[in-house]
Chains A and B, each alone.
Chain A
Amino acid sequence: MDDPSVDELLMGDPSSSVLSDRLLSDQEALTESRSYTRLMDADLRARLQLRRPTSSRTISNKSTENGFSVWDIRNLEYATEVDDNLMCPICHSPFVSPAALKCQHIFCRQCLSEALSHQQDNKTCPTCRRPTSSNSMVALPKVICRMLEELRVKCPLAFRGCNEIIPRGNVQTHLDRYCGYEEVLCPSEDCDQYLPRRLAGKECLHEPLPCPDCGEEVSLLNLNNHRMGSCKVAEIICTDCSSSVPKSMYEDHITSCMETVLKCTASKYGCDFTAKRSVMQEHIESCALVKLAPTIALQNDRLGEHARALKHLQQKNAVHEAFLDTVKDTLATIASADLATSSLPSDSAAPFDSPLSHLLSLHEALREEVSRVSAAVSDLDAKTDTAFLNSSLRAKEEAAHRDAVLAQLRVQLQWLVSSRLQGIHAARAGAGALGISDTRRNSNDAESSSARPLPSTRRGSDGLGNGGREKL
């Protein structure tokens, strides 16, 4: 008898193929509902990039004590998006050693005790305000804490250049043993200074050496910084003319280097000419576009002005047209009203008064109509808003439900497969026993032992299948 692989088992059994189909379709629905969220996330992240200087300021504030970095777990940068359900409502970061209150609300232990200590005598849950006390905090199950410690974070020394991404629980170990950017004690026995771990070899890098450029005494560790910064003599090689230029002169050199390739100053008006600075002057003197440039710029400005004026006029015109329409409408109604009144035997005391008052009342009625319409529009607005909110909430709930179903299905599948495999193993064992012994009693025993587990397995799987379906 061949040993069927797990795949064959899955494909062969119709019930499990249905299961896997469902799994797939569920997964599809899940990814679809998530892609929208991801879109929003991307937008947020773009804005986040804009604010990056702020957040990096928080990180670089990390102080160094005796050479070793002091870091705050709440300031860690997470490498991936963390589920909103894992966020502490107080610090808005993933929970750190979470604790729950009787009302089932969860916070970081430290956040919660700090919040409770800020309350007067009657302590209440920060989320639901139910009465509570500091000693009714309960730690969450270990498995959840472990999952939280598995969350991937960036090394706290990322601002120094470390690119490591590590589980949150391993940050201290990473810094203590592995991080190349952490400061460690100099390997030399006579030196009590620190240097980054990645540079720590056998020798001391702190011994002062004369700078090859200016002769000032600098440690090997700082030589690069010195030559790029404070060294007065170091030279920089110009990429255009490849001559080495003293650092202090470099600024002047790059704005005057004769070998630098430039575009014609009238390039934005259509001159394609490019040449080294040494010959550019000659071109500029003869280039027609350079001569025309001021005029073109002036024309451009005027065109822009005209476009703006035109737009303004168009807007005004639209307003006037709308006004004209209303006037026409009013006139039409007046005309018809006039006809109606003139056909009547008119004996009113003030014949000039009535059309005027009629006009006024019409105006009033129109105004009321407009306000009613605008109220209806804002009403409609509010309704669509709530409808949209409701539907998105429902979608979210559905996604959560799908998640749960998915997890359940996975468990069921595993259960099915393992029970199947067990059955096969039992059957094989039975067959082996038959081959060795010939006596009736033994074969009976083997049969019964191989037959017994099967029905029970089936019953078990049916029961579980039903249970699963009921929940679905």
Chain B
Amino acid sequence: MALPKRIIKETERLVAEPVPGISAVPHEDNLRYFDVRIHGPASSPYEGGIFKLELFLPEDYPMTPPKIRFLTKIYHPNIDKLGRICLDVLKSNWSPALQIRTILLSIQALLGAPNPDDPLANDVAQHWKENVTAAIETAKEWTHKYATDTAT
């Protein structure tokens, strides 16, 4: 099926006016598949980390939300072991008036404001609720270990 004009326009804009701290590059052979990199927001446990994600626009995008997943390991109450993200706008609260860039911004915001009351990774959320300082420390360690240049 042909690529809808909207996807072409969105891609052009993502390339022409990138969002600070976020990059999304489509695959040459599949323009519905994007390699995404999000910089951890400042003064969050993810600061200094660069997180890789994959984003896929399903056939009926924008009527259904993009499918998106963390590839880099991350310690976060709303992101599970498989990198799936618990974010309402990616599910029930999706609207076709939203865009790839708004979704990526929401994910960056989620890194800055973890919400252990609406968890996807239950053990992490538990840790977060019981001992925030320790949980944040773990998140920092993971960021350093998996999301920096030195990480292998």
Contacts and interface: CB of A to CB of B under 8 A. Distances in A.
Q: Do A and B come from one complex?
A: yes
Contacts of A54: 3, 8, 31
Interface in A85-139: 89-93, 111, 114-115, 118, 120, 124, 126-127, 129
B6 A91 contact: yes
A92 B63 CA distance: 13
Contact of B62 (A48, A74, A90): A90
Given A48-B12, A54-B8, A126 B3 contact: no
A61 interface: yes
Interface residues of A, number: 27
Contact of B12 (A47, A129, A378): A47
A57 interface: yes
Given A47-B16, A54-B31, A378-B42, A61 B2 contact: yes
B5 A51 contact: no
A47 B6 contact: no
Contacts of B95: 115, 124, 126-127, 129
Interface string A273-291: 0000000000000000000
A296 interface: no
B151 interface: no
Given A75-B5, A126-B97, A51 B10 contact: no
A43 interface: yes
A43 B92 CA distance: 37
A47 B8 CA distance: 12
Nearest to A127: B97
B11 interface: yes
Interface in B59-105: 60, 62-64, 92, 95-97
Nearest to B94: A118
Contact of B8 (A55, A90, A111, A115): A55
Nearest to A46: B16
B27 interface: no
Contacts of A44: 12, 16
Contacts of A5: none
A129 B63 CA distance: 15
A92 B98 CA distance: 11
Nearest to A61: B2
Contacts of B12: 44, 47-48, 51
B15 interface: yes
B45 to A, nearest CB: 17
The range of chain B's interface size is 20 to 34
B46 to A, nearest CB: 16
B9 A92 contact: yes
B5 A74 contact: yes
A371 B11 CA distance: 37
Contacts of B6: 90-93
Given A51-B11, A54-B31, A89 B97 contact: yes
A51 B92 CA distance: 33
A465 to B, nearest CB: 43
Given A58-B2, A91-B5, A118 B97 contact: no
Contacts of A43: 16
Contact of A58 (B8, B16, B97): B8
Contacts of A378: 42
Interface string A30-66: 0000000000000110011001001101100100000
A92 B96 contact: no
Interface string B1-26: 01111101111100110000000000
B94 to A, nearest CB: 9
A402 B3 CA distance: 38
B13 to A, nearest CB: 8
Contact of B5 (A92, A120, A127): A92
B64 A118 contact: yes
A120 B92 CA distance: 9
11 contacts: A47-B15, A51-B12, A54-B3, A54-B8, A57-B2, A58-B3, A91-B5, A93-B5, A115-B95, A118-B60, A129-B95
Q: Which 7 A-B pairs have the closest CB atoms?
A: A89-B97, A61-B2, A126-B97, A58-B2, A92-B6, A126-B95, A90-B96
